[in-house]
Structure 1
Amino acid sequence: MPSRAQSFLSRDEEVGFGQSTAVWLVLVITRIIGRVIIRIDPGSATPIFEQLVRAVRTEVLAGRVAAGERLPAARDLADSLDVNAHTVLHAYQTLRDEGLIELRRGRGAVVTNAAADAEAVRDLAAGLVAAARESGLAADTVFAIIREEFDR
């Protein structure tokens, strides 16, 4: 049955040698949804919803998904990735809380303009990191300063 989502599985095989030869299969699920590549590793210690958040966030911030573009319906994406729909909804809610998408009744998940705004912030962050390195400040110190500014 054709769907909007094209998918494929990639299997990475690793062979271990010792007293006896053993073969381990690591299953990594990769889905191409429109232009968005979502890679899920069910064996990872990272929860699946967080893997989804990271994958979508990366694609949005890289500009491969434009503002106003719709993400797949949660149920469709869940079916494509063979995960629970609540897992996808949890990921979408996290992305909404980050301001990267809006959840609209009847329209689903829509990418916001925040990605374009994030590019300007990324440039400022690069300058901040350069200044911190020049000053010899540790990353944890810079993160603490940023947290303080957010808490104001």
Structure 2
Amino acid sequence: MAQPFNPSVPIYQQLCERIKNKIIRGELGMGERLPSVRDLAIESEVNPNTVQRAYKELEDTQIVEKKRGQGTFVTENPAILQKMREEQKISHINRFVTEMREMGYSEKEMLHGLQDYLEKKEDNK
């Protein structure tokens, strides 16, 4: 069964995020071939046009490159991947901070809470 999608975010954007996260986690390495449009569409249970749009979006940002007759591959440019990794980190931090502020937490409380969380997680290893 495919991982569910958030109905409030376009599916192609969610596919882009999932692919970026796989690259960051090392599940997709530099120069590695992405699944074909058809295969990812079947796996994700979406229209192939949606996957094509996600691949085009990633290609426009140079995270992936299309090789005629061979498929779509993760870029081999480490600078582009490092930039993407940093952008993803900032995006997630921004989302976290925004949500915490909406709940009324101060920066000090956020830092303390995060520090406690990381320390407890380290203790459970």
TM-score for both structures, normalised by structure 2:
0.60
Q: What do residues 2-53 of structure 1 show as CA deviations (whole Å, max 9, x unaligned)?
A: xxxxxxx3xxxxxxxxxxxxxxxxxxx32xxxxxxxxx41x52101111100
Which runs of no fewer than 5 residues in structure 1 stay unpaired?
1-8, 10-28, 31-39, 127-152
Identity of aligned residues (%): 33
Matched, 1:105 2:68: yes
- 1:71 Cα deviation from its structure 2 partner: 0.4
Which has more strand, going by share of residues?
Answer: 1
Pairing partner for 2:8 from 36, 40, 45: 45
Deviation of 1:103 (Å): 1.1
State whether structure 2 residue 70 is matched by structure 1 residue 81: no
2: CA distance, partners of 1:87 / 1:109: 15
Query: What is the deviation of 1:102?
Result: 0.4
Q: Which AA in structure 1 matches 2:21?
A: T
Count residues with an aligned counterpart. Answer: 86
Q: CA deviation at 1:104?
A: 1.5
Distance in 2, Cα, partners of 1:103 & 1:86:
16
Equivalent residue of 1:109, what SS?
Answer: strand
**SS across alignment from 2:29:** coil
Q: Choose between structure 1 and 2: higher helix proportion.
A: 2
Q: Which has the larger radius of gyration?
A: 1
| SS in structure 2 of the partner of residue 110 of structure 1 | strand
Amino acid at match of 1:97: D
Q: Which amino acid counterpart does residue 103 of structure 1 have in structure 2?
A: K
